[in-house]
């Protein structure tokens, strides 16, 4: 099992549908986990004072899941969505924005800045291609969402905290299922591409 006993991780949105599983996974691996979620003691991520208390120098990582993901919500309350999704995120990473801290972390993990840039760019290209090519064709029905929720609800002990209501979990489940469907479509496309490719191995190339 992965040993994360030396890690101290902050998980925003850690009481949500996905966040609870993330927190449970980190704790199972031995990590010390701090949860920042509006449903726990009104810990509003948009409050700078709350963020300052949560983001401390001893943290080794932040998993940022707190967000308003509803498209309808973004239309009805664009200012609120911007505050939560953009301004709060900027506030979380602000303590690490200094050049000295950035370079120190690169050195800590043995990563060159050029290698990091190339890796991020390749990842962005892959995500963009996947989203544009496969996501529009993925269909998730209300029955699929309810079935997934019911399946999780029938598994006692899956996570440490009580399961949120179906209505509170609906948007996150839908996004999760669409993401899964997108990746499955990508896997099928890659499998077909591999079968169609004519790959020849030349022994001299490995000498």
Question: Cβ–Cβ contacts within 10 Å for residue 179, how many?
Answer: 13
Among the listed residues 37, 24, 95, the one whose alpha carbon sits nearest the alpha carbon of residue 66: 37
Both tokens of 177, joined, read 């299922």
Domain limits, the chain: 1-97, 134-207
Phi, psi (deg, nearest 5) at residue 9: -120, 135
pLDDT value for 158: 46
CB 168 within 8 A of CB 143: no
CATH no. of 1-97: 3.40.50.720
Residues 6+ apart with CB under 8 A from 10: 33, 34, 35, 36, 54, 55, 59, 61, 62, 63
pLDDT band, residue 20 (cuts 50/70/90): confident
- Indicate the pTM of the whole model: 0.56
Total count of residues recorded for the chain: 207
- pLDDT, tens digit, 9 for 90 and up, residues 145-200: 999 888 878 766 544 456 778 888 888 888 889 888 988 898 898 888 888 877 67
Long-range contacts of 81-87 (CB under 8 A, 24+ apart): 83/46, 84/45, 84/46, 87/46
Among the listed residues 137, 144, 148, the one whose alpha carbon sits nearest the alpha carbon of residue 183: 137
Which H or E element spans position 36?
strand 32-36
Across residues 75-103, what is the average pLDDT? 77
pLDDT value for 152: 78
- Rounded CA-CA distance 137/52 in Å is 42
pLDDT band, residue 144 (cuts 50/70/90): very high
pLDDT band, residue 201 (cuts 50/70/90): low
């Amino acid at each position: 099992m992965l040993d994360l006993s030396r890690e101290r991780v902050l998980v925003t949105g850690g009481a949500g549908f996905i966040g609870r599983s993330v927190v449970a996974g980190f704790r199972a691996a031995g990590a010390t986990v701090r949860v920042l979620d509006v449903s726990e003691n009104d810990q509003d991520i948009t409050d700078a004072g709350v963020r300052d208390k949560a983001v401390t120098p001893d943290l080794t990582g932040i998993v940022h899941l707190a967000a308003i993901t509803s498209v309808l919500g973004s239309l009805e309350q664009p200012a609120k969505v911007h505050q939560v999704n953009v301004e709060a995120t900027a506030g979380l990473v602000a303590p690490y924005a200094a050049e000295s801290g950035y370079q120190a972390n690169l050195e800590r993990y043995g990563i060159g800045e050029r290698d990091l840039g190339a890796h991020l760019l390749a990842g962005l290209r892959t995500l963009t291609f996947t989203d544009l090519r496969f996501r529009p064709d993925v269909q998730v029905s209300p029955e699929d969402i309810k079935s997934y929720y019911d399946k999780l609800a029938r598994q006692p002990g899956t996570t440490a905290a009580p399961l949120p209501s179906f209505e509170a979990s609906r948007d996150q489940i839908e996004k999760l299922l669409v993401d899964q469907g997108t990746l499955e479509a990508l896997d099928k496309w890659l499998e077909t591409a591999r079968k169609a490719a004519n790959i020849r191995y030349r022994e001299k190339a490995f000498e």
